[in-house]
Structure 1
Amino acid sequence: MTTEDPVPEPATDRDTPETGSNAARAQAFGAVATAYDAGRPTFPAEALTWILGPGRGLQVLDLGAGTGKLAAVAAALGHDVIAVDPSQEMLEVCRRRPGLDTMMGAAESIPLAHASVDAVIVGQAFHWFDHARALPEIARVLRPNGVLGLLWNRADIVVPWVRRMVHTMQGDAIGGDRFDPVPVLLQSGLFALVEDTRFRHWQDLDRNGLRQLAQSHSRIAVLTESRRDAVLEQVDAIYDNTARPPEPLRMPYFTDCYRARPSDLANYRRTLDAPVAPHL
């Protein structure tokens, strides 16, 4: 990391899949799209500026866009953004955001032309992809000098109440190994010189917002109603014992960011398939 922030034990949103439950947990996001949009944090603009550069007007693909939280930040920075997600429910929420184009699609089969975007950004979703299929697709749609940016918001569980909250949401998964995208990117041979950094930010939550944050997690979404209600009662208790209304409860996050550019191999393979698409 290039910052001097202490490195906490990580807590990953759009939760890291567990063996045997991947499909059910991934599909659970569509059912909680509204809670996901209301409860999950946004991404700091500084993080996207680090990935995309200080300019404006790039053609950006937000892959696995969900409800469009990351896409909205890119659009606010002056870029032309296409949000792609396999969940119709997620995209219905995403379409309410101004300045975004949306398309149904998956990382393993991106519905865009060869070399058609300047950047692909992925927030909270890259660990869900089938990397053997998704990375060639990402390299295919990127322009020769394009950039791939990966972002994860991770709760700072050094703070005691945050640690209790994350444990309530994730159970024994708290403190587990963080997904590291660097070996995946480099072993593909399609990306070179992966850089990383970290940004700190906060999310202001009221009682209902903390509840929606919990409800947006796939582990909780797949519980039976009675078990889910029991978890949400624990979440309410955390808020009641911690918050000092009318001041919001401030949830601290680190945003871990990675950026990489297509390798010479990726650029060569792309030119064999199709010419570079013109800027729109």
Structure 2
Amino acid sequence: MKDNFSTQSDHYARYRPGYPDELFSYIAELTPGKEAAWDCGTGNGQVAGKLAAYFRQVYATDISQNQLDNAIPSPNISYSLQPAEKTSFPDKLFDLIIVAQAIHWFNFDDFYREVKRTLKQEGYLVVTGYHLLQIAEEMDALIRSFYEDVVGPYWDEERRYIDEKYQTIPFPFEEIRTPEFSLKLEWTLEHLLGYLNTWSAVKHFQKKNGYNPVDELKEGLRRAWGDQEYRTITLPLLLRIGRLR
């Protein structure tokens, strides 16, 4: 499992979007047991914080201590520094295991072996994430060009799984059909720029070239943004849900 997010963990916590409440109510309705959930690759605990409203105990793991240091606190969330592929959890502990915007970094075979060991027979594995944001036509074109042409060569190879909407990852589970979800947020331009600065490809570009490519994108976005303080940002969600066969 790669760690691309230990640096600037406070920026990650501030600018990375969460997930819609509708997704968690859907997952909670689907899951018969509510004793224990595992948020694997929790980052700053956004998903763990949502799960805490539905499950008696939430266990949240990450390989970045800096991320965990910025995580959302809750009495029923237990954070720990552990890799996805090998944990200290007992067998058949979890009613739900969820991975948000992280599974493409994992060793699939080892992680799925851990899922099958720690998931209850009637439990569910949820794999989710989000793809490229949508605002308005002119800004979407600028961001897509930035995503593909400017920082495109700097994405880790695993990023292709997100481009392929997680449809090409191995998924050795009994999969269920799911509704479509999207996340809608009201952002300022500064928040958008902060979010773009959390992209791992931006960090890789900056390390290689010695300057931040977001600075060159800023003026074009500012012109396209116009006089509005806030714009509606739409993030289409990726979602696959399965259970043990």
With normalisation by structure 2, the TM-score equals: 0.83
Gaps of 5+ in 1: 1-22, 264-280
What is the number of residues matched between the two proteins? Answer: 234
CA distance in 2: counterparts of 1:259 and 1:139, whole angstroms? 14
- Give the residue type in structure 2 aligned to 1:155: L
CA offsets, 1:137-188, max 9 Å, x none? 01111111110011111234584213422432453479964153576113xx
CA offsets, 1:237-261, max 9 Å, x none? 2442233556312221111221111
Instruction: Tell whether 2:110 aligns with 1:133.
Output: yes
Question: For residue 166 of structure 2, what is the aligned residue in structure 1?
Answer: 180
Change beyond 3 A, Cα 1:53–1:157: same
CA distance in 1: counterparts of 2:3 and 2:199, whole angstroms? 11
Change beyond 3 A, Cα 1:79–1:253: farther
Question: For residue 110 of structure 1, what is the aligned residue in structure 2?
Answer: 87
Q: Give the 3-state SS of the residue equivalent to 1:202 in structure 2.
A: strand
CA distance in 1: counterparts of 2:73 and 2:210, whole angstroms? 30
Q: Which deviates the most, 138-147 or 78-87?
A: 78-87
Instruction: Tell whether 2:200 aligns with 1:218.
Output: yes
Change beyond 3 A, Cα 1:183–1:251: closer
CA offsets, 1:13-37, max 9 Å, x none? xxxxxxxxxx8xx433111312212
CA distance in 1: counterparts of 2:141 and 2:13, whole angstroms? 22
Q: Give the 3-state SS of the residue equivalent to 1:198 in structure 2.
A: coil
CA offsets, 1:91-149, max 9 Å, x none? 1111x433421011111102211011110001001111101111010111111111001
CA distance in 1: counterparts of 2:83 and 2:68, whole angstroms? 12
- Give the residue type in structure 2 aligned to 1:197: P
Q: Is the 8 A contact 2:36 2:55 kept in 1?
A: no
Residue of structure 2 aligned with 1:165, choices 130, 134, 143: 143
Q: Which deviates the most, 103-112 or 241-250?
A: 241-250
Q: Which deviates the most, 176-185 or 76-85?
A: 176-185
With normalisation by structure 1, the TM-score equals: 0.73
Residue of structure 2 aligned with 1:45, choices 21, 24, 34: 21
CA-based RMSD of the aligned residues comes to 2.8
Question: For residue 32 of structure 1, what is the aligned residue in structure 2?
Answer: 8
- Aligned-pair identity (%): 18
- Give the residue type in structure 1 aligned to 2:146: T
Change beyond 3 A, Cα 1:143–1:54: closer
Q: Give the C-alpha shift of residue 213 in structure 1.
A: 0.6
Q: Is the 8 A contact 1:196 1:256 kept in 2?
A: no
Q: 1 or 2 for the larger relative contact order (CA 8 Å, sep ≥6)?
A: 1
CA distance in 2: counterparts of 1:182 and 1:79, whole angstroms? 33
CA distance in 2: counterparts of 1:129 and 1:48, whole angstroms? 23
Instruction: Tell whether 2:68 aligns with 1:82.
Output: no
CA distance in 2: counterparts of 1:62 and 1:44, whole angstroms? 16
